[in-house]
Amino acid sequence: MSNQVRSRRYLVNIDSIATNQLFTDCLIIGAGIAGLRAAIQASENCNVIIVCKTKLQESNTWHAQGGIASVLNKTDSFESHIADTLKTGCGLSDPTVVETVIKQGPELVEQLLKWGTDFDMSENNKIAVTLEGGHAQSRVAHAHGDKTGQVIAQALINKITQNPKIKIIENFYALDLLTNDQNQCLGAIGQCKNSPQIIWAQNTILATGGAGRLYRETTNPEIATGDGIAMAYRAGAVLQDLELIQFHPTTLYIAGASRALITEALRGEGAKLVDAKGKRFMDEYHPDAELAPRDIVSQAILKQMLKTNTTHVYLDVRNFDKKHFAKRFPLINELCESFDIDTSKDLIPVRPSAHYMIGGVKTDLTAKTSIENLYAAGEVASTNLHGANRLASNSLLEGLVFGKIAGQLASQNLTDRIKHPNISYTIPASSKTRLDTEDVTNSLRALMWRNVGITRKNQPLKEASEIINFWQRYVMDKTFESTHSFQCQNMLTVCSLMAQTARKRRESRGVHFRSDYPQRDDKKFQKHITITR
């Protein structure tokens, strides 16, 4: 980590007296499932401002094809869902957190149904559930097949846009959390319509989502650049498990095209993985074959690619009825057709891509961070639910539960004692060469894929840290005005922290695989790795 990052408190010069200011009881940064659910809950007790980087409909939640896992039928049980989550978490999940989230799930999912979420229903007019990898029971609910995230998000958006106590500000790029000398969060500064804007808040909820765009190969939309983690780091929050990022095993691989998720529900309903020779291979790696946890499937695909000297493997869905496939998975069907892939005759080329950030801002069971009046929920948070490997479809559930918890507590913890101090911060002029931040961003994403990807080793991790440190010296010492440049600074910060923590975890556990330390080491590393500024 360069000295420029260590010493940098804010990304921009701040003169609070001369900056446009808004005031609210509760500020929520982010508009995925966690932020939207938090806004609804907080509005019961106070006024809320929710800000988002682009528009309300652009989030990881909106793009989520997979479902939401919960105990929704009589053959399932809380004990089974808890056991599956703990097993997949590889010794790093907190049993109390797991139990809390899973037991609150059914009520909150049914609430989504009442609020207009058009879940796929069974013949007896109950929410239909399917099987996915790592689950012992069918418990994954979908909406419009592979449009689950979009349908849930739209239902929540419909609810908040009708609420006069919630003010929505789109195209607000949150730059930094504002804090005082008492380690209290006072709100945030951002850029709105190319002008600085301060929002003072008694409580702030960070719900900025994930960081998949740190990698060249990812399922995530362009907004997922780890901004919330970088903001929290500069503010002095404790971060946790940043080495743990989940790679989704199956994303469409077409050379020259961006990666697109091929949902796990396909494998849950009978799709098979085959290699370039048409040979099914997953039963060689795990007794659950295609329904093994994601880390195992991703690593198996990589090994099979190496064995066959190919860039990808294939998903075989030719056993599916073509009309049923088009109706059940409309997004994937449309995607395949756009590349002239006839799913009734052709195999779907797939390979793993960065998908979900397990680590993030450390929180407790009440969504509190280490900074007073600052809460975090959703993918930006590290709640100890997922452990070292997220169980499929537990992420929307986590965002729903902790969004409610954060909104409830933040709206009750109101006080007039916090004052809004004048904040003045000036970044010294730099004499160093100015790099092109677009070039740096592209090179950084390629570096992360090569050196801090699915398979890791000490020397490549060390090299990644050194290269990122070099870029930081020429990027973090300057002020910028464009959103892309701010993103580059945040990405450099988070990537540096990820490379550091990946070197520290000298074992293989869950999504973190070290080829130089291929075994799990419970004696030394059955613990969380934390880092703070």
467-496 pLDDT per residue, tens: 999 999 999 999 998 999 999 999 999 999
Segment 213-225 mean pLDDT: 93
Task: Please say whether the beta carbons of 378 and 356 come within 8 A.
Answer: no
DSSP states of 356-420: EE--EEE--TTSB-SSBTEEE-GGGEE-SSSTTSPPTTHHHHHHHHHHHHHHHHHHH---S----
Q: Where in the chain is the domain with CATH 3.50.50.60?
A: 14-244+358-412
**Distance from the Cα of residue 27 to its chain's centroid:** 20
**Which element (helix H / strand E) includes 228?**
helix 227-235
Encoded tokens for 445: 């994403």
Higher pLDDT, 517 or 194: 517
Instruction: Specify the length of the chain in residues.
Output: 533
Is 306 or 293 the better-scoring residue by pLDDT? 306
Rounded average pLDDT over 140-144? 93
CA–CA distance, 60 with 110 (Å, rounded to integer): 22
CATH topology assigned to domain 14-244+358-412 = FAD/NAD(P)-binding domain (3.50.50)
Q: In degrees, to the nearest 5, what angle opens at C-alpha 107 toward C-alphas 105 and 111? A: 115
Query: Residues 138-162: what's their mean pLDDT?
Result: 94
Check residues 256 and 54 and name the one with the higher pLDDT.
Answer: 54
Task: Please state which CATH number belongs to domain 430-527.
Answer: 1.20.58.100
- The residues that bridge with 49 in the sheet, in sequence order, are 27, 167
Q: Which of 195-199, 217-221, 415-419, 522-526 has the lowest mean pLDDT?
A: 415-419
Residue 480 DSSP label: -
pLDDT at 331: 82
Q: Taking phi first (over 0 means left), then psi (-120 to 50 degrees means alpha), and beta for anything else, what does residue 68 get?
A: beta
Rounded-to-integer distance, Cα 81 and Cα 295, Å: 19
Cβ density class 53-77: b for 16+ within 10 Å, e for less: bbebebbbbbbbbbbbbbbbbeebe
> Residue with structure tokens 């793009």?
63
Contact 495, 214 (CB under 8 A): yes
In order, the DSSP letters of 503-525 are: HH--S-BTTBEETTB-S--HHHH
What pLDDT does residue 418 have? 66
91 contacts 388 by C-beta, under 8 angstroms: yes
Categorize the per-residue pLDDT at 387 as very low, low, confident or very high, splitting at 50, 70 and 90: very high
pLDDT value of residue 416: 66
Give the whole-angstrom CA distance, residue 35 versus residue 346.
Answer: 40
Mean pLDDT of 155-160: 96
The stretch 233-262 carries a mean pLDDT of: 90
Residue with tokens 């929307």: 396
Give the whole-angstrom CA distance, residue 231 versus residue 120. Answer: 38
β-pairing verdict for 195-206 and 374-376: parallel
Contacts of 129 (CB under 8 A, 6+ apart): 72, 73, 76, 138, 139, 140, 141
Q: What is the 3-state secondary structure (H, E, C) of 275-330?
A: CCCCCECHHHCCCCHHHCCHHHHHHHHHHHHHHHCCCCEEEECCCCCHHHHHHHCH
DSSP single-letter state for residue 213:
G
Given this model, what pLDDT does residue 417 score? 63
- Positions of CATH 3.90.700.10 in the chain: 248-354
Of residues 212, 252, 273, 245, the one with CA closest to residue 32: 212
| Per-residue pLDDT tens over the stretch 318-331 | 989 888 888 888 88
Rounded to whole angstroms, how far apart are CA atoms 35 and 27?
10
What is residue 124's predicted lDDT score, i.e. its pLDDT?
87
Dihedral sign from CA coordinates of 13, 14, 15, 20? positive
- Say whether pLDDT at 144 is over 70: yes
**Which of these CATH numbers, 1.10.10.60, 3.90.230.10, 3.90.1150.10, 3.90.700.10, describes 248-354?**
3.90.700.10
Check: CB of residue 502 under 8 Å from CB of residue 452: yes
Q: pLDDT over 90 for what percent of the chain?
A: 77
Active site residues: 294
Q: Quote the pLDDT of residue 380.
A: 98
DSSP H or E run through 174 = strand 172-179
> In terms of Cα–Cα distance, which of 189, 174, 224 is closest to 379?
224
* Tens-place pLDDT, residues 67-113: 999 999 999 999 999 999 999 999 999 999 999 999 999 999 999 99
Residues in a beta bridge with 280: 274
CA 42 vs. chain centroid, Å, equals: 22
Over residues 5-20, the mean pLDDT reads 89
Domain with CATH 1.20.58.100 in the chain: 430-527
Residue 514 dihedral angles phi and psi, to the nearest 5°: -105, 115
Would the pLDDT of 4 be above 70?
no
- The pLDDT of residue 10 is above 80: yes
Q: How confident is the model at residue 445 (pLDDT cuts 50, 70, 90)?
A: very high
- Per-residue confidence (pLDDT) for residue 238, from 0 to 100: 98
Of the given ranges (205-209, 301-305, 343-347, 419-423), which has the lowest mean pLDDT? Answer: 419-423
Using DSSP's 3-state secondary structure scheme, residue 349 falls into strand
Question: According to the model, what pLDDT value does residue 256 have?
Answer: 74
pLDDT digits (tens, 9 = 90+) for 389-440: 999 899 999 999 999 999 999 998 787 666 788 899 999 888 888 889 999 9
The reported pLDDT for the residue numbered 413 is 78
Position 264 pLDDT exceeds 90 = no
Q: Which helix (H) or strand (E) holds 256?
A: none
pTM of the model: 0.93
